[in-house]
Structure 1
């Protein structure tokens, strides 16, 4: 079940989760409201729903109740700031398969979705969260899991090398800028933002996947998938 529908009203978190899930290999449709979810949801495509509870036009618990009443074969994961025991019990009683706090580690989310896919009898069709992205230094190219190589510029290579060699950890802006051979104090930060946008677009246009890099606000970037670097 490769298609996930995400319902999250916080724009930054919605973007970060969409990027992470796409980087894991899922096809993601993201919505910010109950109305948008109900318009986009397609039971013939979406195998898993990732649902926030506090929404601008209603409560996610009501949505879960409605989805279960339809009888669709759908895995439901609640991802919310409501961490009290009574909220967890209510969510699970209504029909959620899993209940995760928004503070949960992204690796925990990936493992939860993988386990849910197996439970639903996906037959191995779900993406593997541990599939590696491979960076080849010579020739300069990136190999996304399941796709052919993507040629990289020298700057692309330097940025990815800095991020992928510390996969799972935040690489600071200063760290990346200095790896590019620039003086951090005089460097225009917008250049780095533009570089990251170009790199993400290059990968997405070649594969349909999102490059598995999260933006750590006011800090740097984090490569959140398994990474291998080859000479």
Structure 2
């Protein structure tokens, strides 16, 4: 899963980026509203954490322009403005949730997980596919009750496929949602991670749909 973090405070932005990375997200960062607007239009994100008090262009304007332009990714507003007027303005502008500073990072992660789940029509933090279970809260994967050790990129790929169970996911979409913008992307690594997951979880788990991409094989 790939997230855009928009925060002008460099210390907080660095801390949150580290927390999100450790939680299994690929993270792009923006320190001002103009950069955020551009990234939100040109890059595909599974969710956005958006501060309102931004230089160049305020977060509310950024959000309004995203929505008027057809960008539908879930947006969690993160701001020091905690009056009900600001909350109403944010929600009316198209925000999906609202978190006032100061906050606990555990709550931010929980709200972010919920936004991603809802965007994919899922209700539970436990993603189930036959005997395979992925716990989005702890970042753990079990198969038949046995914990399976995955690297960060293997986990991201599996999580994205499980969020889109039953769909064919193109190689391009996987690359776009596995890596941050500044990562040296190589399409061949997708095949490498798919091969590793097949070795660890079963050769028949992930189907290659020739010319289209990959999908999880229907659970028995």
Q: TM-score, normalised by structure 2?
A: 0.56
* 1:158-181: CA deviation from partner (whole Å, max 9, x where unpaired): xxxxxxxxxxxxxxxxxxxxxxxx
* 1:18-66: CA deviation from partner (whole Å, max 9, x where unpaired): 0001110011001101122133335652121111001111211111111
- Give SS of 2:82's match: coil
Alpha-carbon distance between aligned partners in 2 of 1:22 and 1:105, rounded to the nearest angstrom: 16
Alpha-carbon distance between aligned partners in 1 of 2:62 and 2:96, rounded to the nearest angstrom: 14
Alpha-carbon distance between aligned partners in 2 of 1:23 and 1:145, rounded to the nearest angstrom: 15
- Is the alpha carbon distance of 1:44 and 1:36 closer, same or farther for their aligned partners in structure 2, counting shifts above 3 Å? closer
Give 1:122 deviation, angstroms: 6.7
- Give SS of 2:87's match: helix
Give 1:130 deviation, angstroms: 1.4
Larger RCO of the pair (alpha carbons < 8 Å, separation 6+): 1
The structure with the larger Rg is: 1
Give 1:103 deviation, angstroms: 1.2
Superposed counterparts of 1:59-74, under 5 Å: 59-74=58-73
- Is the alpha carbon distance of 1:67 and 1:12 closer, same or farther for their aligned partners in structure 2, counting shifts above 3 Å? same
Superposed counterparts of 1:163-202, under 5 Å: none
In the alignment, is residue 85 of structure 1 matched against residue 84 of structure 2?
A: yes
Which residue in 1 is equivalent to 2:187? none
Alpha-carbon distance between aligned partners in 2 of 1:27 and 1:39, rounded to the nearest angstrom: 18
Give 1:67 deviation, angstroms: 0.8
Tell me, which stretches of 5 or more residues in structure 1 are unaligned?
A: 133-143, 149-231
* 1:88-145: CA deviation from partner (whole Å, max 9, x where unpaired): 111111110001012121111111111111100176599823126xxxxxxxxxxx96
Alpha-carbon distance between aligned partners in 1 of 2:135 and 2:99, rounded to the nearest angstrom: 20
State the aligned residue count.
138
Q: TM-score, normalised by structure 1?
A: 0.54
Checking the alignment, whether the CA contact within 8 Å between 1:50 and 1:78 is kept in structure 2 is yes
Which residue in 2 is equivalent to 1:147? 151
Alpha-carbon distance between aligned partners in 2 of 1:23 and 1:8, rounded to the nearest angstrom: 18
Alpha-carbon distance between aligned partners in 1 of 2:115 and 2:97, rounded to the nearest angstrom: 9
Alpha-carbon distance between aligned partners in 1 of 2:75 and 2:6, rounded to the nearest angstrom: 11
